[in-house]
Amino acid sequence: MPRWQNAKSFVELALSIDKHLPGYVDAYFGPEDIREIVDAKGKVQLEDLSSTLDQIIDSTHQDAILTKERREYLSAELKAMHTTLRILKGEEIGIVEETQGLYGLTPIWTEESVFDEAHQDLEYLLHGSGPLAERMESFREKIIVPKVNLKSIVRNIADDFRRRTVEVIALPEDENCEFSFVQDKSWLAYNWYLGKCLSRIDINIDLPWYAGFLPHVIAHETYPGHHTEHAVKEKELYREGGFLEHSIILSNAPSAVVSEGIAEIALEIIETPEEIAQILQSVLDQAGLKDVDGIQIYQISKAMRPLSKVSINRVLLLHSEGASDEEVINYGMRYILINEQFSRKGLEFLKDPLWRSYATLYPLGYELVQDFISRGEDKTERFLRLIRKPMTTSRLLARVT
């Protein structure tokens, strides 16, 4: 098979950028000698990295072996690299331009009336009197999973989701996930893809874990979410296809939009609403929680979906409107109906240079992937297409079939 002549340079460049912005490379599982070359060079001057990038961009336009789809994918990733280098060189870039340059998305302010409408639905579902935020907090306190039960419940959910996932997609024979419970992180959970079809999922136990959130998070990080996508693409695109650019996963690139969209919709792919409610009831039973039921949790979770866009508003408030930390914290408390502890933890994520615009990917990626999947008669087949083949943000926005 013909090889793209600059594939190695692409990988080296990404690894070199990571020297300046740790975490930029989310995972690398390609030839170790490439990493050794980059490590031996140390931090390369940003201007030199920009020159290398220009050469690679020229290659994508001129190399005849690249298919249209492959050239489109590489061009999008390279454009994101260009934006990252601009930021690293100290160029002042607004949060909207940053999000457009890195992910091909435009974050748009959502009117609070959308959140107010969701609150009205929650008013009905959360019986009782008093302010809605207080009733939500009281409800959440009833579904906190004791830490002593958390590990076994997480493993049981993951095992169940794996069984359901293999019914719709053939997983690599040697794939596996392990879990680790950590502290002092700005995120709630994270998939560390280790290569060779293996993942370590870190679960942050600084904050309480609610029964209603666990199935979504586990599906997001494992089956059929991040772990499934990474393992299948490693096997089919890199190991079998020989596409070296798919031996590396970048945090700040359009491919991350598709990946987060896949992960956000993952639970809906393998479970019906009725089955999700049953899974939630099973979590409650395993945790010894008896004051609520799985159906109520599912209904409340569904009603809260529009509130996911509060995160975009918070990004814009903080980085575009000049709002103070306290204003952003209070905004989250008011509209997501979370307590101050959770809102402050979310602010850490929004202020991290690596992740500040990434927070927009969860709701926007979900919408794009949901739209793509819903436009086909066989929704599972379209989901598998995203799992197995690279897809750009631009193609999803253009609604290309």
Give tens-digit pLDDT for 260-272: 999 999 999 999 9
Number of neighbouring beta carbons within 10 Å of residue 339: 17
Q: Tell me if 144 sits within 8 A of 154, measured CB to CB.
A: no
Q: Final residue of a domain: which of 37, 68, 103?
A: 103
Q: Are residues 87 and 140 in the same domain?
A: no
Q: Verify that 77 and 213 share a domain, yes or no.
A: no
pLDDT at position 1 = 45
pLDDT at 65: 85
Which residue range forms the structural domain that includes residue 23? 7-103
Mean pLDDT throughout 109-138? Answer: 95
2 domain-assigned = no
Looking at the fold, whether 245 and 134 belong to one and the same domain comes out as: yes
Picking from 103, 129, 153, the residue at the C-terminal end of a domain is 103
164 and 204 co-located in one domain: yes
In-domain check, residue 1: no
Who contacts 132 (Cβ-Cβ below 8 Å, separation ≥6)?
Answer: 119, 122, 123, 126, 337
Residues 39 and 180 in one domain: no
The pLDDT assigned to 268 comes to 95
The H or E element containing residue 181 is strand 176-182
3-state percent breakdown (helix, strand, coil) of the chain, nearest 5: 65, 5, 30
Average pLDDT over residues 137-153: 95
Using alpha carbons, list the distances in angstroms from residue 290 to 176, 204, 267, 275, 286. Answer: 33, 25, 24, 19, 10
Q: Is residue 261 located within the same domain as residue 186?
A: yes
Cβ neighbors of 195 (< 8 A, separation 6 or more) are: 27, 28, 29, 234
What is the rounded average pLDDT of the residues 127-135? Answer: 92
Of 275, 263, 165, 176, nearest in space to 220 by CA: 263
Total tally of structural domains belonging to the chain: 2
pLDDT digits (tens, 9 = 90+) for 353-366: 999 999 999 999 99
128 and 198 in a common domain: yes
pLDDT of residue 106: 97
Residue 41 placed within a domain: yes
In this structure, which amino acid lies at residue 139? Answer: F
Phi, psi of 217 (to 5 degrees): -65, -45
Closest C-alpha among 112, 107, 123 to residue 334: 112
The verdict on 146 and 14 lying in the same domain is no
pLDDT exceeds 70 at position 2: no
pTM here? 0.96
Percent of the chain topping pLDDT 90: 93
